[in-house]
């Protein structure tokens, strides 16, 4: 069982569908799963809020990581038939997902897309697009909104 599917989610309301797709892929490949959630570093916000003591940010990030791990553990508990590892870290998902996939020798990466276009896509960027363009392993992109446009 060398196949490993890295599922990268932001724990938004549509993350469950992405996780289910990734788990289904892993089951078809008789593989294991690594569910990853990267808590974004709020660099721009941090610079504008320098009055906050650094330990306050540490506490915020610790609380976010604990919350994410609890949510992911619930998902793991629903799928006892699949070997699932969990990874939660503070960082930049664009870079950290690719780095983690390389580190664990993932067979596939599964990500979701918010489907933003135009200005919001330009301003916000697209983590999924970056991962697709820079990953050295195949990427399955699950649309967050499956309604026709």
Q: Which helix (H) or strand (E) holds 123?
A: helix 118-124
Residue 113 — pLDDT band, cuts 50, 70, 90? confident
Q: How many CB atoms lie within 10 A of CB 9?
A: 25
Q: What is the DSSP letter of 14?
A: T
108-135 mean pLDDT: 73
Cα 34 from chain centre: 10
Q: How many domains does the chain have?
A: 1
Residue 4 — pLDDT band, cuts 50, 70, 90? very high
Could you list the residue range(s) of the whole structural domain that residue 43 is in? 4-143
Q: What's the CATH code of the domain at 28?
A: 3.40.50.620
Instruction: Note the pLDDT of residue 3.
Output: 96
148 within domain boundaries: no
68 within domain boundaries: yes
Question: 121 vs 89, which has greater pLDDT?
Answer: 89
Q: What is the pLDDT of residues 52-96, one digit of tens each?
A: 555 677 888 999 999 999 999 999 999 999 999 999 999 999 999
77 within domain boundaries: yes
Backbone torsions φ then ψ of 62, nearest 5 degrees: -60, -45
Q: What is the pLDDT of residues 17-35, one digit of tens each?
A: 999 999 999 999 999 999 9
Instruction: Note the pLDDT of residue 56.
Output: 76
């Amino acid at each position: 069982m060398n196949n490993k599917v890295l599922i990268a989610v932001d724990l938004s309301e549509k993350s469950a569908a992405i996780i289910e797709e990734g788990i289904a892929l892993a089951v078809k490949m008789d593989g294991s799963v690594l569910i990853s959630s990267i808590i974004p570093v709020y660099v721009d916000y941090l610079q504008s809020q320098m009055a906050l003591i650094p330990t306050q940010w540490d506490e915020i990030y610790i609380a976010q990581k604990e919350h994410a791990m609890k949510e992911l553990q619930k998902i793991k508990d629903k799928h006892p038939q699949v070997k699932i590892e969990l990874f939660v870290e503070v960082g930049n998902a664009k870079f950290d997902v690719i780095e983690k996939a390389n580190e664990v020798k993932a067979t596939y990466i599964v990500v979701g897309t918010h489907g933003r276009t135009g200005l919001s896509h330009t301003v916000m960027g697209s983590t999924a697009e970056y991962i697709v363009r820079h990953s050295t392993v195949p990427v399955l992109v699950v649309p967050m909104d499956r309604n026709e446009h």
